[in-house]
Chains A and B, each alone.
Chain A
Amino acid sequence: MKYLSIIKITLLSLFLSVLNFKAVAQQKFHIDGTITGLTNGKIYTYKNNAVVPVEVKNGKFQIDGDMSEPVYNLSLLKDSEINYRDQKTFTYVLAESGAQTLKINYSDFRKSVLTGSKTQDDSYRYDAIRDKIMKKYKKEFDKVEVLHKKLDDAVAAKKDEKTTEAIKYEINDAKEFLEPAYKEITDATLKFMKDNPKSYFSMSTLLYYLNGMTYDEAKVYYDSFNPLYKNTESGKYLWAEIEKMKKGIPGVPAGPFNTTDINGKPLKLEDFKGKYVLIDFWASWCVPCRKGNPHLLKLYAEYKPKGLEILGVSDDDKNEDKWKKAVEKDGIGVWRHVLRGLQYKEGSHERINIDQDISEGYNIHSLPTKILVDPNGIIVARYDGGEADDKKMDEDLAKIFKSK
């Protein structure tokens, strides 16, 4: 399931990522553009976080800009407002310093062609590889698209929940047939990065494929990249994300903590030494987390006598009362509970005491996430939400406690 929206995420995030860079002018780019399907009018681009119009005269236009990085992520919009749902109305190209030419097709921005940028050439080579795979699975992709349209129509027509839920199930089933396609795309992407380590395109792509990787795998790619690009904002951001992958993954020591539990008793990681402990990252406001509590209770009843402990780490620092009520309501007070320790500087959004935040020590991105720690304090597994991961967790626990 993780592969499902990779393409979309990649597109949108790349599209947006450049906007964050601080504008320290060093180099400039210049684009000479022609457009088919529009003689006089306007198209749009982003500049310093704002949409700015680009004047089109006699089917021609020019765009100039300062570059704070070796590659400029130039977005092109048909309208003054981005319309995510119609992919024909926007695109981005990777401009380099100096002069380049750009051809835009007004009826389908995805068909725009930038000439004169090595990075963009790399991107086109990659697109060709990806498109070939997508073509192979065209039937499956089309099916999902048709179902999404069906769902949109049902929602627009205010159909009841039973109808929309049924369509969602259909979509899920149809998406399963896409798994091999996404697997192939992922493999092809990794191969591309391996074959083209010095390309800026490779470096900017890795961020979106970290999810299925270990720290060591990610580091091999990162080490092979162009040092010039590693020093850019996006390169530094990528490295920070890779560094985080060292935490909370199988094979590494569980992140230490020293805190007070829901009953005011001190609790630290070492207290669980000699036992398996399943750390459940959840929150009172997280519906999928709480849906899983009955199942956790069942596991606890089964394996507690054999030496399993559960520790609930809740993202409820802002409202302890809600946390306590949820623990009581779901009947999960049988195991120990602590807050993650999220703290803000008084009256601001600035986080403080990050080293005391338990979730940080395990690199938690979404809830629920469960982490299984062995009697020596080493992480043996990590489970995200979703059926597949739940099943894996059940199997792992059954295997561990079979002989006990």
Chain B
Amino acid sequence: MKKVIAILMILFALSVNAQVYNPVKWTTSVVKISESEYELIAKAAIEKGWHLYSQTVPEEGPLPTKFSFDGKGEYLKKGNTKEEEGHVVNDPIYGMKIKYFENKTIFKQRIKIKDKAPKQINANVEFMACDDTKCLPPKQVELLFKIK
């Protein structure tokens, strides 16, 4: 039985760009799948007009969104970080198909606990964002997944 465990924290690093733009805000939650499996969920709230990019974009395209999970061998990642369908556009500048997200989107990572569940899992996400007229250089935001 799926059990939603205590959720949420708004994480946000006061970034260098905070003066003006901070169009993507991340929140995290954890869902218990079974005694040894959990799903780590990172949710991005994207301000109107901005795009967040997929984890896979063609080699010469924009920079992909990238997750990295810290671990000291307490758990194993099961598969890749899953993402939503998003929008795929044929971008005339790059001459290739590029996938991006608008409004909000969710990334999920299934993990398997080895022995005892850690209290929390630290991760970070590196991402860039663009609107029609500008882009923000990639930045990293710490994500904290609380497992209770």
Within 8 Å by CB of B47, from A5, A17, A315, A387, lies A5
Within 8 Å by CB of A290, from B93, B102, B131, B140, lies B93
Chain A window 78-113, contacts with chain B (Cβ cutoff 8 Å), 1 for yes, 0 for no: 001110100000000000000000000000000000
B7 near A51: Cβ-Cβ < 8 Å? yes
Within 8 Å by CB of B62, from A16, A49, A148, A285, lies A285
Interface residues on B, range: 35 or more
A288 near B130: Cβ-Cβ < 8 Å? yes
A237 within 8 A of B: yes
* Chain B contacts for A19, CB-based, 8 A: 10, 12
Interface residues on A, range: 35 or more
Describe A's contact surface by its main secondary structure.
Answer: helix
Which stretch of B20-28, B31-39, B111-119 is in the interface?
B20-28
B27 near A366: Cβ-Cβ < 8 Å? no
Query: In A41-56, which residues have CB < 8 Å from any B CB?
Result: 46, 49-51
Query: In B34-85, which residues have CB < 8 Å from any A CB?
Result: 45, 47-48, 60-63
B124 within 8 A of A: yes
A398 within 8 A of B: no
Query: In A304-327, which residues have CB < 8 Å from any B CB?
Result: 315, 322, 325-326
* Chain B contacts for A13, CB-based, 8 A: 18, 22
From known contacts A49-B11, A51-B7, A290-B93, infer whether A349 and B19 are also in contact, taking CB-CB under 8 Å: no
Query: In A378-393, which residues have CB < 8 Å from any B CB?
Result: 384-387
Within 8 Å by CB of A288, from B12, B94, B132, lies B132
- In Å, the complex CA distance between A152 and B46 comes to 13
* Chain A contacts for B61, CB-based, 8 A: 285
* Chain A contacts for B135, CB-based, 8 A: 283, 285-289, 366-367
B8 near A51: Cβ-Cβ < 8 Å? yes
Within 8 Å by CB of A46, from B7, B10, B22, lies B10
B residues with CB within 8 A of A: 7-12, 14, 17-22, 25, 27, 29, 45, 47-48, 60-63, 87, 89, 91, 93-94, 102-103, 124, 128, 130-137, 140, 144, 146
Query: What are 10 inter-chain pairs, A to B, with CB distance below 8 A?
Result: A5-B47, A12-B25, A49-B9, A82-B10, A210-B19, A237-B14, A288-B130, A288-B134, A288-B135, A366-B137
